[in-house]
């Protein structure tokens, strides 16, 4: 695993502020061990140890790192029909997902505590028989802070993942700063970003599966729009990182892809509130991409533009966020009391 960090540059020397803060942060660019969740968690623990040894206080992992991003799969779905083979593929994918809370969550929490780092981990979460693409938050004491479920899966992702709601849209006030995360293309949703800005996000994490050049433009825009540090982590994967055919196919039975072919090129990056690229983007292979963050940059950027402060116009434009859990079935206290009474009379 290579370590990439920002090259030294000359900077203007400023008087130190009594509340000045700095942070070394790392975005992890690595592949899942697909269909092997225990091996993936082992790999995550090694990467956490490696990042901590480099002095990082925050590690951000890619979208779906534990459980896997099923790139190239169609799960046998076409409009109006699903195949038996696709259903069996979903069964195997479901088996690779994790429960939250659960043993894998406990292992990541223990690693965060052991190495005294904050961790944001992309996982595929199993809840009943529905899967969610989720980001989990851990602090450096090993506490599981909570999660963000991807609110809007993209395209065919909607076949295999459920929709998150406003109850998992947190920004956590931690010892290293205010942490929040949106996953992949939901970062393109202006109102969703605005909700994070309004919660005071400083470390805006963007686990993704998008390695295209256009993604870099989105990350640059968000850093400047939000006046926050943006830390985007993507997997770097070759065809050989997935199971071979016929256990796993990219797009159909006629797959003709070399095992060495790159199927996700990474592009993980760290960007400052002023729009300066601090580290990355990396398109070369698995890497720990690291930068030192000066929180004074947030304040300096806000002079120009504070999207939910002096640059807001609440007299003209307002956003209302429904942050209540949305449950498909609810039971009133009266019904529960009646059921209890009936059971006592049996």
Q: Which residues are part of the catalytic machinery?
A: 63
Q: Counting runs of H as helices and runs of E as strands, what totals does the chain give? A: 8, 18
CA count, 13 A, side-chain hemisphere, 116: 5
If we measure between CA atoms, which residue out of 123, 125, 117 comes closest to residue 61?
A: 123
- Structural tokens at position 128: 């009943």
Element holding 207 (H helix, E strand): strand 203-208
**Nearest-angstrom CA–CA distance, 77 and 62:** 26
If we measure between CA atoms, which residue out of 237, 251, 248, 318 comes closest to residue 285?
A: 237
CB 75 within 8 A of CB 89: yes
- Structural tokens at position 65: 């790192």
CB 245 within 8 A of CB 40: no
**Nearest-angstrom CA–CA distance, 172 and 40:** 26
Q: CA angle, corner 275, sides to 277 and 287, nearest 5?
A: 25
CB 75 within 8 A of CB 12: no
CB 194 within 8 A of CB 169: no
CB 204 within 8 A of CB 196: yes
For residue 143, what are the contacts with CB-CB under 8 A and spacing of at least 6?
Answer: 109
Long-range contacts of 15-21 (CB under 8 A, 24+ apart): 17/296, 20/294, 20/295, 20/296, 21/177, 21/294, 21/295, 21/296
Residue with tokens 């599981």: 144
């Amino acid at each position: 695993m290579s370590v990439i960090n920002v090259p030294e540059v000359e900077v203007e020397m400023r008087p130190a502020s009594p509340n000045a803060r700095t942070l070394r942060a790392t975005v992890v660019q690595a592949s899942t061990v697909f269909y092997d969740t225990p091996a993936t968690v082992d790999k995550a623990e090694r990467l956490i140890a490696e990042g901590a040894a480099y002095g990082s206080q925050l590690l951000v992992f890619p979208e779906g790192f534990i459980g896997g991003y099923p790139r190239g799969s169609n799960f046998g779905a076409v409009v109006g029909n699903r195949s038996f083979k696709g259903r069996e593929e979903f069964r195997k994918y479901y088996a690779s997902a994790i429960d939250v809370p659960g043993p894998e969550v406990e292992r990541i929490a223990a690693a965060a505590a052991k190495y005294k780092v904050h961790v944001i981990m992309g996982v595929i979460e199993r809840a009943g028989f529905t899967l969610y693409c989720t980001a989990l938050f851990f602090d450096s004491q090993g506490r599981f802070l909570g999660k963000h479920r991807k609110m809007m899966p993209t395209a065919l992702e909607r076949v295999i993942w459920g929709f998150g709601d406003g109850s998992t849209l947190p920004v956590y006030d931690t010892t290293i700063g205010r942490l929040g995360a949106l996953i992949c293309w939901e970062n393109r949703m202006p109102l969703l970003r605005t909700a994070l800005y309004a919660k005071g996000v400083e470390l805006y994490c963007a686990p993704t599966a998008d390695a295209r050049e256009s993604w870099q433009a989105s990350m640059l825009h968000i850093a400047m729009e939000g006046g926050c540090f943006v830390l985007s982590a993507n997997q770097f994967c070759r065809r050989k990182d997935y199971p071979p055919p016929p256990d796993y196919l990219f797009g159909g039975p006629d797959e003709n892809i070399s095992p060495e072919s790159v199927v996700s090129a990474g592009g993980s990056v760290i960007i400052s509130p002023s729009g300066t690229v601090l580290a990355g983007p990396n398109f070369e292979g698995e890497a720990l991409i690291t930068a030192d963050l000066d929180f004074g940059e947030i304040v300096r950027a806000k002079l120009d533009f504070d999207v939910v402060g002096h640059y807001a116009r609440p007299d003209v434009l307002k956003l209302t966020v429904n942050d209540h859990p949305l449950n498909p079935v609810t039971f009133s206290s009266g019904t529960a009391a009646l059921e209890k009474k009936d059971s006592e009379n049996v």
